[in-house]
Amino acid sequence: MYSYNYRSAPNTGVMNSKTFLKKFSHAEQLKTHWIPKFEEAYEYTMPGREAFYDEAPGEKRTDRIFDETAVVGIQEFASRLQAGITPTFGRWINLKAGIEIPPNIAPAVDEQLDEITNYIFEVLHASNFNQEVHESFMDLAIGTGVMLVNEGPSTNPIIFNSIPLPHVYLNGGPDNKIDCVYRKRQIRLGDIKILYPDANLETLEDKILNDGDAKCTVIEGTMRNYKDPNKEVYDYVVCVKDFEQIIFEDQFEGQGSNPFITFRWNKASGEVYGRGPVFNAMSAIKTTNLTIELILENAQMNISGIYQLEDDGVINPDNIQLVPGTIIPVAPGSRGLVPINGAGRFDVAQLVLDDMRSNIRKALYMETLGPTKGTPMSATEVAERMADLSRQIGSSFGRLQSEFIMPLIRRVIYILKKQGRIELPSLNNKEIKIIPESPLSRAQNEQDIADVNRFNATLGQTFGPQVLNLIVKQEEVARYLAEKMNLPEKIIRDAAEQQQVVQQMQQVMQQQGGMNELGAAPEQT
């Protein structure tokens, strides 16, 4: 991992350590009542993920898992979401000229932005983005994902890091958005200089030299500064909690300057942390695991057997070994060991199990249009599945666009522009539009295209093509459809070209009319 090397000066007087730790303590307190819910969800669905409570490395956390439906479902949920929103080796956004770009230069700007978009995705595909976004989408299934986007070395301009939720502490602002993100982690004293090269370690040099392997708690915080509400400014602080010592502080300004991308699946009013589909399925997940546990216990009893015996003074249960070839002495007239039939109902248990597993799959969107067949899916089937998934997660998809896709692209543009790798007219959304082009976005566009076509067809059938062309601006319809279908605007003729084509068509019609008159002249004579 690399530090935030934005300025040469490590300290800018953002705030003192007591103020910073007080802010962090408040965020830590807000998370307290969430931790039991998060820990339970992670234990049942992602036991390999880092725990919220202190535990020894490599400690076993699978004792409560007897059914793998939710564990596999989380993986499939993340993969399906990644394929629908950020497909691997595909373009899932486009940069277009905004409304403030003059129409006469907009096509040239769009062509330049298209080249920049291609370069952005070259950088993304060469980075670790695809690996890290999958982990963040798995956290999103619980409710909240956090992605850290930092500058990297010259060979790898951008480095992505999915931050586990146990390390993250959030707080909201006056606009009900997340404006404070804290990261708490345990590191060695000797690693501070490596992780934060510009850190001020004058007061810690002796401790690092004497005991560099000792663990310390480091807190990073990015907090929105509202001194000027019209500007997007963030205060960044790195503090060693054990010594209440701020070792680095800075201030970021502008869209994309915040290195933390925090996004939620859904949230309740007044809450900071998100609620994911796993929360809706927790009762079914726990019931499924309990049912499997009872089935295994009942199966064990049926396999090994349960016996009753008469207290005849001969058989000692403590000395009996139920293995092949065992001879058990019994008293005359005694019945010996009598097996007891199991009372469990496997058929009823299976009915409960099937129902609970189905609920888990529905909650994690695993049953979209049924299971896939062995043969590769056609383009039509893929489009249908994406359209169905888009309808199911419509509200959450919109939140992901505003809290994840847009901030992520702005952050990437910010870093590449800062490094001098790209040059944009501006990062102002009014001048540069970020248009989602993921499979899920296109699935939603398909509905808009169908609405326009149905509108045109209805008017044409009702009033005829002449009235249709009188009412509807077909040129604007063509441009709208091209935009929805992600087609380049250069395929549509501009006004001058259209006028030229009309004149050519008129000339052809006049020539054809003259030839018809010449053909009819002999008959008139």
pLDDT tens digit string along 2-47? 344 433 344 456 788 999 999 999 999 999 999 999 999 999 999 8
Measure the CA–CA gap between 48 and 51, rounded to whole angstroms: 8
Which residues are CB-contacts of 2 (< 8 A; sequence separation ≥ 6)? 150, 151, 152, 153, 159
Percent of the chain with pLDDT over 70: 78
Question: Given this model, what pLDDT does residue 499 score?
Answer: 79
Closest by Cα among 404, 410, 488 to 438: 404
Question: Given this model, what pLDDT does residue 140 score?
Answer: 95
More confident residue, 495 or 343: 495
Average pLDDT over residues 302-320: 69
Question: Given this model, what pLDDT does residue 5 score?
Answer: 42
Percent of the chain with pLDDT over 90: 37
Contact between 395 and 266 (Cβ < 8 Å): yes
Question: Given this model, what pLDDT does residue 11 score?
Answer: 47
Average pLDDT over residues 243-254: 92
Number of other CB atoms surrounding residue 284 within 10 Å: 20
Phi–psi pair at 8, nearest 5 degrees: -75, -30
Measure the CA–CA gap between 170 and 223, rounded to whole angstroms: 10
Average pLDDT over residues 55-81: 81
Closest by Cα among 113, 5, 121, 94 to 419: 5
- Mean pLDDT comparison of 237-251, 319-333, 335-349, 482-496, highest-scoring range: 237-251
Measure the CA–CA gap between 242 and 238, rounded to whole angstroms: 12
Question: Given this model, what pLDDT does residue 1 score?
Answer: 38
pLDDT in tens, 142-152: 999 999 999 98
Contact between 432 and 410 (Cβ < 8 Å): no
Question: Given this model, what pLDDT does residue 282 score?
Answer: 94
Across 326-335, 344-353, 475-484, least confident range: 326-335
165 DSSP assignment: G
More confident residue, 235 or 339: 235
* Full DSSP string of 241-295: GGGTEEEEEEEEESTT---EEEEES---TT-SS---HHHHHHHHHHHHHHHHHHH
Question: Over the range 397-411, which residues count as b (16 or more CB within 10 Å of their CB) and which as e?
Answer: bebbbebbbbbbbbb
Contact between 409 and 124 (Cβ < 8 Å): no
Across 135-139, 154-158, 327-331, 508-512, least confident range: 327-331
Tell me what the pLDDT averaged over the chain comes to: 82
Average pLDDT over residues 463-486: 77
Tracing tokens 């999958």 back to the chain, one arrives at 134
Q: What global pTM score does this model have?
A: 0.79
